[in-house]
Amino acid sequence: MTTASDAGQRPWLSRLRGSNNEGILALTILVLCVGVGVVEPSFWSVRTMLNVASNSMTNVIFAMGVLIVIISGGIDVSFMAIGIFCGYSVIVLTNETGFGASSAPVGFVLAAVIGVALGVLNAAAIAGLHLPTLIVTLGTQGIIRGAMLAYVGSKVIPDYPEGLDKLSTNYLVTATGTSSTRLSVLIVPAVLICVLVSLLLRYTMVGRGIYAVGGDAESARRAGFPVVGIQFFIYLFAGLLAGVAGLIHVTRVRLANPYELVGGELDVIAAVVLGGASIFGGKGSVSGTVLGVVLISLIRNSLILLGVPGSWQRAAVGLLLIVGVGAQALSARSRRTSADLVAEGAPA
Amino acid sequence: MSDGAGRTGVSDPTARLVQRMLVERGVVRLASIALVVLVIFSLASGNFFSIINFQSMGFQVAEIGLLSLAIALTMLTGGIDLSIVSIANIAAIVTAQLFMSAGSGTASGSSSVVMTVGFIAVGVAAGTACGALNGLLITRLRITPILATLGTLQLLNGVAIVWTGGRAIYGMPESFLNIGTGFVAGVPAPVVVLLLAAVGTAVFVNRTGMGLRIKLVGANPTAARYSGLNNDRVLMRTYLMSAFLSSLAGILIAARSASANADYGASYVLLAIVIVVLGGVNPMGGSGTVTGVVLSAFVLQMVASGFNMVGFNSFLYQIAQGVILIGVLGLSTITQRYDLRSALRMRSGRDVDGAPSEQLPAALGPPVPPREREHEQ
């Protein structure tokens, strides 16, 4: 009576479960919502929804970059440094030169370009020199953050250029209540990016190449995938996403603080891994990742709502990561065992 | 400290000598780097070459040196321990909490010494127990070391924050603080602790069966298993040992700063990895020397103090860490590939230099991160 044989008899169940356990994740979220809602009825409100959406907005874009890197078999800890470098630099740059100050899109193009440029550092060391990804991105994290603080600036900037200033107060939805909760219009690009990455991974040659490289780089190479080119694309694209996410974050909080973001990498990596992406590469999905980000944001939100002190949040996310990854590792092992049984001709 | 010799069981004496020299070459290269750094900063700043500066560097190098040894051990097995700083803080907090609840700030004499030794032992034991958690996650649940220790990093740090409420704990007696601030024959006490721990680790790695097994598991886990090694037990011991060394670092931190804090030393993880890689430990596992790690800890401490004295800010030191990490690793990869190619040319008598890199045999091609090796069936 293993899960695999159950799913074999009932294909709809395996479809519902999803190839990366997205179904289980969605179920967890649902149970969590119902549980917290029973204890604290004020949980069921538009406000909670908007809060969770607002808090996931930037992390979900960062997570898309991390997802691509993890699918390719790597790990990235430099994306937060790239993000804050881009966000902060764009504010500094437009404030000082006045270039594109009145237009927010120019700022985002700028952030994307800087992000890609910083991504070259990772790409060159990983694809060019074949160094381990964790160590390379640890190194570039230090370089990028140090360079920003040493050369771009180390002061918190409250003054924004006109274009970004307007954008930061542009809300899509406003829920009024005891205190009004608002959802920034920046959720739109975040959703668009998720759709785009999903299409890229599913329907393009590069996207399939990313899975192939993550599954087995040598096989991908023999199958004719340009492995080095794909790796370059991965780290440049991750840089681009991090740059955009960084500027969205800086715009949304309306205070350009260069000391922010770095140190929050784990939340995003945890979300991606919880979302079913395998650290060994070759596995992962956009929908799972989005659910993972939402779950972590939801847990943080409900801890506050349930009156648990903020100091517990760190431990809770750590525990969630261990439990999630442990459960995946265990289920991978049991699936392997049942596959062995099938291979040996045992009744399924 | 040559640990290259017996590893592959080479019988040919010349080959053994060559292997020994290769290992020594790394240490010799590091020692010359240390000398160059020393000369540069001595020339750049008049205060650098002074007993006071060396003593102040000694106080700082000990804790990061211990943390580096902790990571080095796990890297020998091809894993990594990112939770070292959280474990160090747990050990420090447990010890400090014991002192605080015993109200021992006023105690004196021999009872104070006994208390200090006892409380340190409890703190180190608590930290080491956290290492058992890492070991269990990695060997029982088969979570990759990166993810397992990333999780415990967060979890243990969270527990420490909840425990202390985010505040620092004070109130340790003089006998405890002496460990972090005292001198033994003019040498800072923390350096003595570091050197004792380094010698212990070196003996463990080079002269015991478990040390050899650690390197074998790191070099090739599958081969190690087929040779009858109990990989899980080896990994478990490695992470226990790593946590033990981290806990010692935590005790030194608490004794030096006279307080214990949940968020102390968050930037140490990157620095420790830089030190270990600069020290010549292969991040893929299998090879590395304790001497190299300790030497490179001293080199980076000199760079840090030197930067400080010359008037560079700490951000530039952060950049330097990253550049050193990627530079050293990149350089060693390039030279290694060159060595392999020339070795192949000698054996086959063919010129492979002209061949495009895509045509190289798998062994010389892009080294696919062998992380997937670790947990294959």
What tokens were used for A319? 């525990």
CB A252 within 8 A of CB A167: no
Give tens-digit pLDDT for A62-72: 999 999 999 99
Strands (E), B151-284: 183-184, 187-188
Residues of chain B positioned with their CB less than 8 A from the CB of A217: 366, 368
Q: Establish if B331 touches chain A: CB-CB under 8 angstroms.
A: no
Q: Establish if B332 touches chain A: CB-CB under 8 angstroms.
A: no
CB B115 within 8 A of CB B224: no
**Residue B353 clears pLDDT 60, i.e. is over it:** no
Q: Establish if B278 touches chain A: CB-CB under 8 angstroms.
A: no
Cβ-defined contact of B143 to A333 (cutoff 8 Å)? no
Residues of chain A positioned with their CB less than 8 A from the CB of B144: 279-280
CB A286 within 8 A of CB A61: no
Beta strands B187-188; B183-184: pairing state: antiparallel
Most A-contacting residue of B325, B358, B364 (CB-CB within 10 A), to test interface: B325
Least confident piece of the model among A281-290, B103-112, B121-130: B103-112
Chain B, nearest residue to A225 by Cα: B358
User: Do the interacting molecules here have an ipTM over 0.90?
Assistant: no
Determine the pLDDT at residue A42: 82
Cβ-defined contact of B143 to A322 (cutoff 8 Å)? yes
Give tens-digit pLDDT for A145-194: 999 999 998 899 988 888 888 888 888 877 776 667 788 888 999 999 99
Query: With bands split at pLDDT 50, 70 and 90, how would you rate the model's confidence at B267?
Result: confident
Cβ-defined contact of B148 to A333 (cutoff 8 Å)? no
H/E element, B107: none
Candidates A147, A319, A330; nearest CB to B319? A147
Residues of chain B positioned with their CB less than 8 A from the CB of A147: 315, 319
CB B260 within 8 A of CB B254: yes
Q: Which residues of A96-127 are buried (b: 16+ CB within 10 A; e: fewer)?
A: eeeebbebbebbbebbbebbbbbbebbbbbbb
Most A-contacting residue of B84, B150, B335 (CB-CB within 10 A), to test interface: B150
User: CB atoms < 10 A from the CB of B196, how many?
Assistant: 11
Residues of chain A positioned with their CB less than 8 A from the CB of B274: 139
Least confident piece of the model among A109-118, B22-31, B65-74, B338-347: B338-347
Instruction: Residue B258: name the closest of B377, B178, B191, B333 by CA.
Output: B178
What tokens were used for B274? 């830089």
DSSP state of B260: B
Give tens-digit pLDDT for B235-263: 999 999 999 999 999 999 999 998 898 88
**Residue B361 clears pLDDT 50, i.e. is over it:** no
User: CB atoms < 10 A from the CB of A182, how many?
Assistant: 15
Candidates B143, B273, B323; nearest CB to A325? B143
Count Cβ atoms within 10 A of the Cβ of residue B375 and give its class: 0-12 exposed, 13-18 middle, 19 or more buried: middle
Report chain A's terminal Cα–Cα distance, integer Å. 9
The sign of the CA dihedral B110, B66, B287, B146 is positive
Residues of chain A positioned with their CB less than 8 A from the CB of B276: none
Backbone angles phi, psi at A73, to 5 degrees: 90, 10
Say how far apart CA B155 and CA B247 lie, in whole Å: 16
DSSP state of A152: I
Nearest CA distance, B318 vs chain A (angstrom)? 5
Instruction: Residue B277: name the closest of B288, B266, B264 by CA.
Output: B288
Q: What's the CATH fold of domain B6-374?
A: ABC transporter involved in vitamin B12 uptake, BtuC (1.10.3470)
Hey, where are the domains in chain B? 6-374
Query: With bands split at pLDDT 50, 70 and 90, how would you rate the model's confidence at A9?
Result: low
Nearest CA distance, A42 vs chain B (angstrom)? 26
Hey, where are the domains in chain A? 42-262+278-284
Cβ-defined contact of B162 to A311 (cutoff 8 Å)? yes
Helices marked H in B77-144: 84-102, 109-139
Say how far apart CA B109 and CA B113 lie, in whole Å: 7
Distances in whole angstroms, Cα of residue A297 to Cα of each of A48, A135, B46: 11, 28, 53
Residues of chain B positioned with their CB less than 8 A from the CB of A263: 266
Most A-contacting residue of B368, B374, B377 (CB-CB within 10 A), to test interface: B368
Residues shown for chain A: 348
Say how far apart CA A146 and CA B314 lie, in whole Å: 8
Least confident piece of the model among A272-281, B15-24, B116-125, B172-181: B15-24
Which contacts qualify for A215-220: CB closer than 8 Å, 24 or more apart? A215/A281, A215/A282, A216/A282, A216/B368, A217/A73, A217/B366, A217/B368, A218/B362, A218/B365, A218/B368
Count Cβ atoms within 10 A of the Cβ of residue B213 and give its class: 0-12 exposed, 13-18 middle, 19 or more buried: buried
Instruction: Look up residue A315 and give its amino acid.
Output: A
